[in-house]
């Protein structure tokens, strides 16, 4: 019989995970998640497969690993002649990444990583032990050597670094650094049910200070689990970043009125759909290609006591879903690299490839061209992406205006960067706030007399 395992330290105290979960177990789950990302799966999907009791701690560890994965890979390359099997590589890179931080005492981390290896890949446990102990002995010199590689220095793929240098020569270092930190938690108050002032006061009374921004936004001083937000299940509030909260005010400022026929062409998970319905009574059709993700839109609307027609469809295949009635407004939150939300999804940088950007730009063009004819004369098309890359933002609108020179570009934020605080131009008294990386363009179709 195998020897009884020695008592293991509990999960990270900083994350508030259950004390009954040993660290070796979380490291094993973290290795599962990291190896899944390294094989091309999203971290969200990998964490969904994690047992519920281990998920919070595993997420905390895997987020930390994703933010240091470039350095960890470089260190593993210096320490191991041949790349290990996928799970062992996930464990080794996880342990190296965490050993570069302060989540745990280094020797505790090594002991628990070896324990995880003994339980899931015993033949590799000796190698894991030797590699990690060598790292502890030579830590500073190994890190200095690894960081000669820009991907290890900045913990982003080289093509990503170079694209930001080209697009944002004054901000690229700050943008890369920002992705190493968690984004603040931001809320959108459902003003059909509560005033922003009243909800902010309730948070304050519960010991959760915040500051207001925009027409319905609050940014918390410290993040909370969603279930601890007062009135969340009753529909009083939603979690939504400040940049995403720009969509509805832009349409209202441009004159969208009650009763308008509106299409949200790529609606999941439903934040922009819900915000517009909270602000104005419109006839809303919410599309998404993913029927499973579209269920989240239905769930969000039900929680907020709102209604819209939802349909699973590819917005670019208009013959399959359009009823022939033109829309007064179309929101196109187009599929993109998600390079603007890496603070919230730190695996994105490791899943994207440079070639993806050209393919995504082609999809964005196809959607713009397909949806423009569905817009009524005088109607509004709001194009947005959660991307930092200009190829997915201003370059797409410039190209579209070449194809549709009669389209009128209205005032819009353009590119928003998470390292700059922006006041909302439609609400000049609002507090400036820094949200996710985003791009907005607002176009008006000419009236019949102008065509």
Could you give the residue numbers annotated as active site? 386
Two structure tokens written together for 374: 């569905």
Residues 6+ apart with CB under 8 A from 328: 256, 260, 261, 262, 376, 378, 379, 380
DSSP state of 185: P
Two structure tokens written together for 165: 């240098």
What distance separates the 2 farthest-apart alpha carbons in the chain? 86
CA dihedral 182→188→194→200, nearest 10 degrees, is 30
Alpha helices, H only, 68-218: 69-79, 86-99, 106-120, 125-137, 139-146, 150-154, 158-167, 172-178, 196-205
Q: State phi, psi for 133 to the nearest 5 degrees.
A: -70, -35
Among residues 223, 211, 218, which one has the least CA distance to residue 185? 223
Distance CA 53, CA 57 (A): 8
DSSP state of 22: B
DSSP state of 1: -
Distance CA 327, CA 241 (A): 27
Bridge partners of 154, per DSSP, are none
Residue 305: count of CB within 10 angstroms of its CB: 13
Two structure tokens written together for 376: 């009524």
Q: Output the CA angle 398-353-264, nearest 5 degrees.
A: 50
Among residues 118, 107, 116, 132, which one has the least CA distance to residue 22? 116
Residues 6+ apart with CB under 8 A from 161: 150, 151, 154, 172, 176
Distance CA 147, CA 301 (A): 47
């Amino acid at each position: 019989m195998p020897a009884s395992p020695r008592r293991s330290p509990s999960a990270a105290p900083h994350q508030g995970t259950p004390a009954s979960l040993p660290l070796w177990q979380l490291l094993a789950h973290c290795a599962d998640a990291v190896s899944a990302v390294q094989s091309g799966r999203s971290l969200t999907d990998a964490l969904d497969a994690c047992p519920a009791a281990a998920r919070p701690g595993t997420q905390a560890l895997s987020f930390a690993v994703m933010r240091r994965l470039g350095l960890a890979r470089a260190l593993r390359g210096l320490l191991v002649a041949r790349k290990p099997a996928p799970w062992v590589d996930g464990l080794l890179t996880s342990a190296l990444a965490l050993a570069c931080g302060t989540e745990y005492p280094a020797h505790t981390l090594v002991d628990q990583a070896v324990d995880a290896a003994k339980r899931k890949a015993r033949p590799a446990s000796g190698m894991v032990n030797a590699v990690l102990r060598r790292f502890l002995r030579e830590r500073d010199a190994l890190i200095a050597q690894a960081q000669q590689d820009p991907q290890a220095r900045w913990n982003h793929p080289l093509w990503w670094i170079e694209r930001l240098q080209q697009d944002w020569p004054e901000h690229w270092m700050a943008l890369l650094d920002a992705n190493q930190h968690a984004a603040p938690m931001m809320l959108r108050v459902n003003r059909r049910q509560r005033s922003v002032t009243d909800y902010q006061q309730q948070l304050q009374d519960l010991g959760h200070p915040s500051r207001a921004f925009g027409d319905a936004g609050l940014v918390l001083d410290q993040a909370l689990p969603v279930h601890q937000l007062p009135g969340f299940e009753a529909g009083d509030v939603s979690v939504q970043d400040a940049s995403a909260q720009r969509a509805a005010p832009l349409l209202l400022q441009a004159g969208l009125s009650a009763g308008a026929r509106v299409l949200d062409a790529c609606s999941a998970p439903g934040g922009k759909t819900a915000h517009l319905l909270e602000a104005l009574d419109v006839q809303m059709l919410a599309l998404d290609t993913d029927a499973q993700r579209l269920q989240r839109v239905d769930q969000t609307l039900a929680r907020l006591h709102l209604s819209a027609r939802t349909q699973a469809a590819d917005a670019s295949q208009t013959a399959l879903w359009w009823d022939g009635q033109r829309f007064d407004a179309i929101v196109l939150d187009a599929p993109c690299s998600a390079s603007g939300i890496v603070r919230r999804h730190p695996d994105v940088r490791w899943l994207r490839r440079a070639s993806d950007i050209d393919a995504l730009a082609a999809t964005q063009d196809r959607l713009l061209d397909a949806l423009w004819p569905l817009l009524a004369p005088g109607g509004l098309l709001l194009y947005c992406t959660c991307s930092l890359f200009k190829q997915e933002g201003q370059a797409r609108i410039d190209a579209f205006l070449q194809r549709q020179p009669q389209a009128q570009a209205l005032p819009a934020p353009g590119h928003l960067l998470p390292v700059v605080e922006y006041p909302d131009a439609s609400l000049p008294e609002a507090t400036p706030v820094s949200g996710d990386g985003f791009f907005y363009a607002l176009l008006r179709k000419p009236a019949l007399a102008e065509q």
